[in-house]
Structure 1
Amino acid sequence: MTTRILIVGGGYVGMYTALRLQRALRRDEALITVIDADSYMTYQPFLPEAAAGNLEPRHVIVPLRRVLRRCRVINGWVTRIDTASRTVDFEPRPGEARRIGYDLLVVAVGSISRTLPIPGLAECGIGFKTVEEAIHLRNQVLAQLDLAASTDDQATRRRALTFAFVGAGYAGVEAIAELEDMATYACRYFPSIERSDMSWYLIEATGRILPEVGPEMGRWTLEQLRARGIDVRLGTRLNSAENGHVELDDGTSFDTATLVWTAGVKPHPVVGSGDLPLDEKGRVKATAELTVEGHEDVFCAGDSAAVPDLTRPGEFCAPNAQHAVRQAKVLAGNVVATLRGRPRVPYRHAYAGSVASLGLHKGVAQIYGRKLRGPLAWFVHRTYHLSRIPTFNRKVRVLVDWTLALFFPRETAALGALSDPRREFEYAARGRSS
């Protein structure tokens, strides 16, 4: 009888696991099903470059059905995982909810933004985890420049030219650095706007930024951001953002139309919907062999799993792409071993280091203890992630984007209608001329 392998999640872990399984298993050996809300995997390290216009957004995603030709891909949401009955509850985008059974389960649902009950945040803020959010932020920043250049009202102009980012980890630092770099470049096409007219705030509750690259490189990055006119507030919290009026706990207040929340992530809530064992942070308790504790037929990895770090006894693997991609390789191998009655192997990977882009030709990195900064770190950042983005197709497309950018200026037009594509048609349908 063909074994039913169900993979919940089509991100790093889900897609890479499915890709390896379809290569390793015979067609009659297993039926592989992948469930995800989207039909593509997003390569998140390239989101800042997509937001800044250095990369075409379509080139930072990988269509699941194109690369997982031997897998069944279905789109929708898993709302409950029941290991006792070996089933998951599935809700498709349209249609009736149904229950799907499995023999082996891979939980790879990833994480979502960790928000706080701050007044106005849900109404005014936006995250930076999806390609849709990256496209929106690019259009938002450029649209605010358009607005500021078109109004005579000084309050409206100040609000439009004020940009606030909360959270100074990788996502926050790379997002603000790339978008500020893009906006500064775009100013050459707006005679009435100087770089000094814009206000960029990076708000961080702790006392440091980019903890992943170490204290020394974090301080260097802080100096670089401040030298570019970015107001970095350490040890500062967001108290309120109602109607776009931001209030910080240090007494600062200002109005903004752009509030980006990148203050951490948390495991996807579906892991707590059933009977999976969770730790105090809401992560699935995993073994070193990437099985769920007490469940030999359930595997897990990635942001939603508490995977023991064998290189640092007593600690867990960080929730990042470096671990996720490598965990997927081991996980897939262990699924195959389980099917064929062979022993599983533990996941072990010593953290290689971190790289971050701070805008065009700017970067910071710490790799195997070696500290890099400036253009060299930026080059290493691009080279590393070019090697990691899946499929030869996407590698070539990304490389072509970068090559063309060497010879042609950046695009600085805002396509705001993308978020409201029916506006023009509705206007026409009401019998008015545009």
Structure 2
Amino acid sequence: MALIRNSTLRPRILVVGGGYLGFVTARRLQKSLDRGEATITVVDPNPYMTYQPLLPEVAAGSIEPRHAVIPLRRHLRRSEVVTGKVTRISHADRHAVIEPELGEPFELDYDHIVLASGSVPRTLPIPGLAEEAISFKRIEEAVALRDRILSRLDDAAVIEDDAERRKALTFVFVGGGFAGIESLAELEDMARQAVARYDTLTEADLRFVLIEAMARVMPEVGEAQARWVVESLRARGVDVYLETFLQDCTNKHIKLSNGEEFDADTIVWNAGVKANPLLIDSDLPLDDRGRIRARADLRVEDDNGVVEGAWAAGDNAAVPDLSGGGVGGFCVPNAQHAVRQAPVLAGNITKALRGGSDFVQYSHKSIGTVAGLGVYKGVAQIGSFEARGILAWAMHRGYHGMAVPTIERKVRVFANWFLGILLGRDDSQLVDLAEPRKAFAEAADSKPLPKKPEAKAAEAKKSEPKKAEAKVKEAAARAS
């Protein structure tokens, strides 16, 4: 294992994670620190940051996938960007082990570390789940789901067996939080638009199913809004099962806790998240849910007090919610907190580097929530104000369009939306993205085409003089 030490007297700030929190924190540090004051190193498996609230619209074809991600190197020009995984953290020695996609793992020393590795899907030991389901947290998953649903329409259009046809057109979404509702609603809206182009399919052939273990959906909105969301989905033909669990999905055969069974070709898992498990292999303090223990000023703390040089926020941190509205007293893992924690985090680190101690405490009371449920459909709740339909849809797009980092990306996203209103949503699919060499490999392995009978006869006729000549030569050889 290679060992990389700080080669200058400049302190190194290691940002673990290039998601929204890590990206914005590094960008703020670039602006607030003088040149040469510190080295900022960002490590993430991906060379881009994904703005996750836009994933449902990416899946539905309202936003070009590349416009929902921000390339790290383009916008973090004064930072080191390392594409790889942090596999171990030894804060006592102030170094982390980084494993790149290619090459040997290496150790990187640091003076301050920012834990911004985010979250991963929280799965359950349900038979068949790991083999058959797909989550909805990455840009690749959003694109794959769109292409999968559209390809199932193509398949179903020519399937004659009724059972196989129903299976191909049944799409199950597990989890009724914001991610689950938005992804189902956007994709259902897209599928209903696309199915109109098939002569052999109708909207009645589509079956979208929502499975939620709780008695309601979208806990971030009020009871009335949550009931309206369920009613509107059911009015669109979605089967909504509340207080219901997925018990088995082996071989894509769905078994629910209410006793119902059916086949579904597509299973989407949106039933919660957990802190990134890389934090387990570290000497930093974790709570009982695997999150980094943090103070309101975003410094890490253990039973003995502040852990100097360690900072944490976002989905992988247990940050106290000073507003009193957080579940269990902590900030919930959503984009609204990450957006506001990043500037506080960058400001406090800058103060620490310059010897300051008057750190700002993070405090934010939710201003409300907005969600898109398809084109011209949405739900919003801002304090006591509630909106539904096209107004909520416009509020959703306005908020997230402005929250996307960088002016360049904002322009691209708003341009996508303008073109969608003008020209309609793009529901084209790309095939074989997972196997881009498929066509070439098939061509390379293909056998010569069988020759027609006439060609075989002509070839045999041409070869007759050669055969006769060969016989003459063979006879002469024997005679000699």
Q: Please give the range of the TM-score, normalised by the shorter of the 2 chains.
A: over 0.9
1:144 and 2:152 aligned: yes
Secondary structure of 2:35's aligned partner: coil
What is the CA-CA distance between 1:150 and the residue it aligns to? 1.5
For 1:323, the equivalent position in structure 2 comes to: 337
Moved over 2 A (4+): 409-414, 431-434
Residue 415 of structure 1: how far off its partner (Å) = 1.3
Amino acid in the other structure paired with 1:271: L
Superposition deviation, residue 300 in structure 1: 0.3
* 398-407 or 388-397, larger mean C-alpha shift: 398-407
Is there any run of 5+ residues in structure 2 with no aligned partner, and where? 1-8, 450-480
Secondary structure (helix, strand or coil) at the match of 2:226 reads: helix
1:339-418 correspondence runs (5 A): 339-342=353-356, 343-418=358-433
Give the structure-1-normalised TM-score: 0.98
**Which amino acid counterpart does residue 351 of structure 2 have in structure 1?**
A
Aligned partners of 1:223, 1:188: CA distance in 2, in Å?
24
CA distance in 1, matches of 2:437, 2:158: 24
Q: 1:224-263 residue pairs with structure 2 within 5 A?
A: 224-263=232-271
Q: Deviations over 1:34-80 (max 9, x none)?
A: 00000000000110000000110010000000110000000010111
User: Displacement, 1:274?
Assistant: 1.1
- Matched residue count: 434
Aligned counterparts of 2:350 and 2:27: Cα–Cα separation in 1: 13
Amino acid at match of 2:292: V
Give the C-alpha shift of residue 368 in structure 1. Answer: 2.4
Is structure 2 residue 318 aligned with structure 1 residue 310? no
- Are positions 1:52 and 2:64 aligned together? no
Q: Does 1:195 align with 2:203?
A: yes
Residues 125-144 of structure 1: CA deviation (Å, up to 9, x unaligned):
00000000000000000000
- 64-73 vs 403-412, which moves further: 403-412
Asked if 1:91 is matched to 2:103, the reply is no
Deviations 1:371-402 (A, max 9, x none): 11110000000000011001111111111111
Structure 2 residue 440 is matched with structure 1 residue 425: yes
Q: Find the aligned partners of 2:97 and 2:187 in 1 and give their Cα distance.
A: 40
Once the two structures are superposed, what CA deviation does each residue of 1:252-283 show, in whole Å capped at 9, x if it has no partner? Answer: 11111100000000000011111111111111
Rounded to whole Å, the distance in 1 between the matches of 2:200 and 2:425 is 20
**Aligned match of 2:23 in 15, 29, 41?**
15
Unaligned runs of 5+ residues in structure 1 are: none
User: Which deviates more from structure 2 when the two are superposed, residues 408-417 or residues 264-273?
Assistant: 408-417
Amino acid at match of 1:10: G
Deviations 1:138-195 (A, max 9, x none): 0000000000002112121111110000000011100000000000001111111111
Of 298, 303, 307 in structure 2, the residue corresponding to residue 295 of structure 1 is 307
Q: Is this contact kept in 2: 1:5–1:31, CA < 8 A?
A: yes
Contact 2:348–2:359 at 8 Å: present in 1 too?
yes
CA distance in 2: counterparts of 1:261 and 1:432, whole angstroms: 42
Greater gyration radius: 2
Letter matched to residue 228 of structure 1:
R
Which AA in structure 2 matches 1:51? A
Alignment of 1:21-60 (within 5 A): 21-60=29-68
Which secondary structure does the structure 2 equivalent of 1:150 belong to? coil
Percent identical residues: 53
Deviation at 1:28, TM superposition (A): 1.1
- From the superposition, tell whether residues 433 and 257 of structure 1 become closer, same or farther in structure 2 (CA, over 3 Å): farther
Write the distance in 2 (CA, Å) between the matches of 1:143 and 1:100: 45
Please report the RMSD computed on the Cα atoms of aligned residues, expressed in angstroms. Answer: 1.2
Secondary structure at 1:5 match in 2: strand
How many angstroms does 1:370 deviate by?
Answer: 1.3
CA distance in structure 2 between the partners assigned to 1:80 and 1:312 by the alignment: 34
Q: Is the 8 A contact 1:353 1:369 kept in 2?
A: no
Aligned counterparts of 1:416 and 1:41: Cα–Cα separation in 2: 25
TM-score scaled by length of structure 2: 0.89
More deviation, 404-413/78-87? 404-413
Q: Kindly tell me: are residues 419 and 433 of structure 1, through their superposed partners in 2, closer, same or farther at Cα, counting changes over 3 Å? A: farther
Alignment pair present for 1:4 and 2:12: yes
Counterpart CA distance in 1 for 2:319 and 2:367 is 17
- Counterparts of 1:133 and 1:214, CA distance in 2: 30
8 Å Cα contact 2:420/2:426 also seen in 1: no
d(CA) in 2 for partners of 1:376, 1:406: 15
Give the deviation of 1:432 after TM superposition: 4.7
Q: In structure 1, how many angstroms separate the alpha carbons of the residues matched to 2:157 and 2:179?
A: 29
Deviation at 1:213, TM superposition (A): 1.2
Q: CA deviation at 1:411?
A: 2.9
Could you tell me how far apart the structure 2 residues matched to 1:358 and 1:431 are? 46
Cα contact 2:60–2:427 (8 A) shared by 1: no
Q: Give me the whole-angstrom Cα distance separating, in 1, the residues matched to 2:96 and 2:168.
A: 46
Partner Cα separation in structure 2 for residue 250 and residue 256 of structure 1: 17
Counterpart of 1:336, as a letter, is T
Q: Secondary structure at the match of 2:42?
A: strand
Q: Which residue does 1:279 correspond to in 2?
A: 287
Partner of 1:89, secondary structure, is strand
Structure 1: distance between partners of 2:126 and 2:269: 11
Query: Match of 2:177, as an amino acid?
Result: G
Alignment of 1:211-222 (within 5 A): 211-222=219-230
Paired letter, 1:419: A
